[in-house]
Amino acid sequence: MSAAFDTSFFPESFTTFPTRLHKNEHRIAARCDAVVEKFRRLAPTKNPLSYGAGPHGVFYAFLFPEGETEKTLLCAELIESAWLYDDVIEALPHEEAALTHATVKQMFMVGLQEASSDPGSRPHKPSITDIFQDIASRMMALDPKGTPWVLGTQVQYWGEHDSSKDSFYHIEDYVRYRILNIGFRIMVSAMQWCLDIYLSDEETTLSEAFYTSAARVVVLTNDYWSRNKEKDEVTDRVRNAIPVVMHQYSMNEADASIFVKGMIVDAEQKTRALGLQLDKQSDTLNSFVHGIFLMLGGGAFWSSTCPRYNNV
């Protein structure tokens, strides 16, 4: 399903995890382009830009390189739609954003209950929530067993996202909050869905420490690379590790960035150690661990080169 991607020619990338690219990257990229065009029609004044675009491949082709193609296409569509939507409402005041998230959460709950119905048959006023139209039914047609779980994870995210107006002044408090807020569960559930990996209750318990450690990598990596984009945004809720470190340790931004970079390297080492212990427990856990390794490596490389976070 994928080919190894040599990151040694990209000094900006410092991830220690492997990077691979889905063999149907061109199809995944085309699906994301279609999502952006649909969003432009729904929100013509917003000028949306692709979340997943990258000079060396689209985000989801790096994130789920071994995924079954049709499932990977749908996961790319779902997540790209969600991020485009988030970019619009994150500029809203906190209370208004929370109400909008509640509306989207309800929409997904209805989608779970009526995933086999035709949402186009219900007349309604067009809105940006239509970006998610019929995704649930198409996912259910492909995999009725796993889809409710994946969509349930998305629903849970909408309920928790930006659920706190608190400011954070200690990095560990911030990371614990951000693990829930960043949508890591969405990425992991999508990875498992694309690869048909379903853990037993016992395997889920065994993997908790590894999962949390991997989430820490994602939080810190995302914040490290997204800081330049986010620091000039006008919002009442800045969510980034670098300013938290600046405040906690009285550092300037350059030093705090280096500090967070060191935290990423440390978190990657701990995650790798936990994963290499866990993958011996069962074949399913082996697939789970290495699926996350590829997700971490691909996501980190993409973040280091993508136009969303970098001046390219």
More confident residue, 241 or 136: 241
Query: Residue 66 carries which side chain, given as an amino acid letter?
Result: E
Residues 6+ apart with CB under 8 A from 178: 219, 223, 239, 241
The answer, as to whether pTM is greater than 0.75, is yes
Question: Is the predicted pLDDT of residue 119 greater than 50, yes or no?
Answer: no
Query: Residue 85 carries which side chain, given as an amino acid letter?
Result: Y
pLDDT digits (tens, 9 = 90+) for 80-109: 998 888 777 777 777 777 777 776 666 666
Strand duo 2-4 + 20-22: pairing:
antiparallel
Instruction: List the chain domain ranges.
Output: 15-305
Among the listed ranges 118-122, 123-127, 226-230, which one has the minimum average pLDDT value?
118-122
Question: Is the predicted pLDDT of residue 236 greater than 90, yes or no?
Answer: no
Question: Is the predicted pLDDT of residue 152 greater than 70, yes or no?
Answer: yes
* The two three-digit tokens of residue 45, written as one number: 């004044």
Please report the pLDDT score of residue 76 as a whole number.
98
For the domain bounded by 15-305, which CATH number is listed? 1.10.600.10
More confident residue, 264 or 139: 264
Whether 231 contacts 212, CB under 8 Å: no
Whether 75 contacts 190, CB under 8 Å: yes
Whether 60 contacts 295, CB under 8 Å: no
Helix (H, G, I), strand (E, B) or coil at 4: strand
Whether 169 contacts 244, CB under 8 Å: yes
pLDDT digits (tens, 9 = 90+) for 32-65: 999 999 999 988 878 888 889 999 999 999 999 9
